Amino acid sequence: MTAPVVRFAPSPTGRIHIGNARTALFNWLFAKKHGGRFVLRFDDTDLERSRREYADGIETDLNWLGVEPDMIVRQSERFALYDDAMERLRAQGRIYACYETQEELDRKRKRLAARGLPPVYDRAGLNLTQDERDQLEASGRKPHWRFQLERTIVEWDDLSRGPSRIDCASLSDPVMAREDGTYLYTLPSVVDDVALGVTHIIRGEDHVTNTAVQLQLFAALAPDAAPPTFAHHNLLASASGEGLSKRTGSLSLASLRDAGMEAMAVASIAVLTGSSDSVQPFASLDELAAVVDISHVSHHAARFDEAELAMLSARTLHLLPFEAVRERLAAFEIVGHNAEAFWLAVRPNLTKLSDAQDWRRVVEGEITPVIEDEEMLRAAAALLPEEPWDAGTWRAWTDAVKAQTGRKGKALFHPLRLALTGLDKGPELAALLPLIGRVRALARLPAAG
């Protein structure tokens, strides 16, 4: 395979959610795996609803996931290319003016539905005479423009779904431009795919029908070039089966980040949910890229479970080496020569990285010791070794306490944990004790009798 060029093309009309991330990651991981390039293309031709702050937010969300574009393109800056494409289609006789209002089109669709027929546009605009068009425009009507589809069956080999076909006779001629001259999704998408040399289009299965239309447009606008290869993956839904939406903020990446979810866990669950590969933690996108195969994605509905993500996030956190979290820990003022030892000690007990702050308070701050067996704890205080301490100090100390008091098992270890941490469970005390240190440990134990 030659180095692929892929694109992720969100419309900046809201924050992207985990379902959008699924598409972005499939594209980025495919490019990474095959030495290709990833283009972030903002489909912002809807000037009324598109917002720069949403575009900036999408870049932030992708960067959080580790998805770094090789190029960023904004369709709002490329209208000259689309104007040129329209002229070429006009010269080929492939576009035509239509004058129906939205209300008139809705009535046509309802009449067809009442007769049990598909809501296919009747090409009334194609049959208008010049006099009729002149009269409509004189009355104040402005045309929208449609692309005349060839009534043929379009076939392609889908990387995800296998051999696919659409009978274009069952489709309405798609609108290319609105009455105000602005473009809808279809034409700019194909023009940019040609101009940017996109080789593979990986997107959700809700675009399958669009593919037949776009392949006809590719043939009209770039007849000498091979069209891109398509792959249509299944969509993510919520655990209850509801669709996700940018406009409602449902399961947005921003909300998952604010909730403390690990980016790699979000990436893993986004692409592996509904595939033949098991959802498991990965430490890096390189590792994830090695196992993700767009051809292995199930054709059945994929339901995303927030509870599963929370568990996967914790498991992902437990894999991370200190260097991967050094800067994030520093934001919590967890720094210094003990920072790595602290991380390795508390890491297995974290659900979210922010939980490290709680254990930092246990190690370095003021706690309320829980005294369960005062007699044993006084003996333990008297036997507490002098520093320096290391990973073997806990074993040596508890062996000495056991020998003197006869306590063993839970009767030995549980009272020590309660006194030293104020909690009944937590990180291994062999790792935690050297971080607490002798001065704090003695202060938390009853004075030696």
pLDDT digits (tens, 9 = 90+) for 111-154: 999 999 899 999 999 999 999 999 999 999 999 999 999 999 99
- Residue 228 contacts residue 200 (beta carbons within 8 Å): yes
Six-digit token pair at 6? 């892929």
Task: Give the list of residues 6+ apart from residue 25 with CB closer than 8 angstroms, or none.
Answer: 65, 67, 267, 270, 271, 292
Residue 277 has pLDDT above 60, yes or no: no
Q: Global pTM?
A: 0.90
User: What are residue 311's phi and psi, to 5 degrees?
Assistant: -70, -40
Which percentage of the chain shows pLDDT scores above 70? Answer: 97
Q: What is the pLDDT of residue 47?
A: 84
Query: What pLDDT shows up at residue 246?
Result: 61
| Residues shown for the chain | 449
Looking at residues 275-297, what average pLDDT do you find? Answer: 84
For residue 409, is it left (φ>0), alpha (ψ between -120 and 50) or beta? Answer: left
Q: Which CATH architecture has domain 1-74+185-319?
A: 3-Layer(aba) Sandwich (3.40)
Model confidence at 280: pLDDT above 90: no
Instruction: Tell me how far apart the alpha carbons of residues 439 and 86 are, in angstroms, rounded to a whole number.
Output: 79
Band the pLDDT of 230: cuts 50, 70, 90.
very high
Average of pLDDT values for 210-215?
A: 97
Position 251 scores a pLDDT of: 84
Q: Are 142 and 150 in contact (CB under 8 A)?
A: no
Q: Average of pLDDT values for 236-259?
A: 79
Q: How confident is the model at residue 297 (pLDDT cuts 50, 70, 90)?
A: confident
Q: What is the mean pLDDT of residues 372-398?
A: 96
Predicted local distance difference test score (pLDDT) of residue 415: 97
Q: What is the pLDDT of residues 406-449, one digit of tens each?
A: 999 999 999 999 999 999 999 999 999 999 999 999 999 998 76
Residues 6+ apart with CB under 8 A from 146: 95, 96, 98, 121, 125, 173, 174, 175, 176
**Residue 218 CB contacts under 8 Å (≥ 6 apart), including other chains:** 190, 193, 194, 225, 227, 228
pLDDT at 108: 93
Q: Which pLDDT value is given to residue 279? A: 79
pLDDT tens, position by position, 82-109: 999 999 999 999 999 999 999 999 999 9
Which amino acid makes up residue 274?
Answer: G
Q: How far apart are CA 232 and CA 206, in angstroms?
A: 8
Distance CA 19, CA 246 (A): 9
Answer for the pair 184, 175: CB distance below 8 angstroms, yes or no. yes
CATH architecture of 374-444: Orthogonal Bundle (1.10)
Low-confidence winner among 4-13, 223-232, 248-257 (lowest mean pLDDT): 248-257
**Rounded CA gap, 127 and 345, in Å?**
77
Q: What is the mean pLDDT of the chain?
A: 93
Residue 250 has pLDDT above 70, yes or no: no
What is d(CA 55, CA 60) in angstroms, rounded to the nearest whole number? 9
pLDDT of residue 273: 85
Please compute the mean of the pLDDT values over residues 315-337 and round it to a whole number. 95
The amino acid sitting at 21 is A
Mean pLDDT of 328-356: 96
The backbone torsions φ and ψ at residue 233, rounded to the nearest 5 degrees and listed phi first, read -90, 160
Residue 259 has pLDDT above 60, yes or no: yes
81-177 classified as CATH 3.40.50.1000: no
What per-residue confidence (pLDDT) applies to 448? Answer: 74
pLDDT, residue 449, reads 61
Read off the pLDDT of residues 147-188 as tens digits, 9 standing for 90 and up.
999 999 999 999 999 999 999 999 999 999 999 989 999 999
Percent of the chain with pLDDT over 90: 87
Does 276 have pLDDT greater than 70? no
Residue 62, pLDDT above cutoff 70 = yes
Tens digit of each residue's pLDDT (9 = 90 or more) over 17-55: 999 999 999 999 999 999 999 999 999 998 888 999 999
